[in-house]
Amino acid sequence: MIDMDVQSVKIDLIHWLTELQDKSVLKKLQGLKEQQESSFELSAEQKKELDSRLEKYENGEMRFSSWETVKDRVRKRAKDAL
């Protein structure tokens, strides 16, 4: 299996799953799928920061810049640092 490319592994697993009858294995696989889907969690501090930024955005208190402006600003800071 190590030599198989990702698509081949996926196809092999799909075929295996279509024939699988063992409910305990299916339950374990479902649990793995759910764990994988919900593995991205924000900390309380991160949530607080996002809420704060969202509130500022909704109140019109945020400043935005174009990508070109940001690139120019970073280049200038890098040049000044040298």
For the question of whether the overall pTM of this predicted structure is more than 0.85, the answer is no
Task: Give 10-residue mean pLDDT values along the chain (82 residues).
Answer: 78 94 94 82 91 94 93 93 84
For CA atoms 25, 27, 29, 31, the dihedral sign is negative
The helix (run of H) or strand (run of E) holding residue 13 is: helix 6-19
* pLDDT tens per residue across span 49-63: 999 999 999 999 988
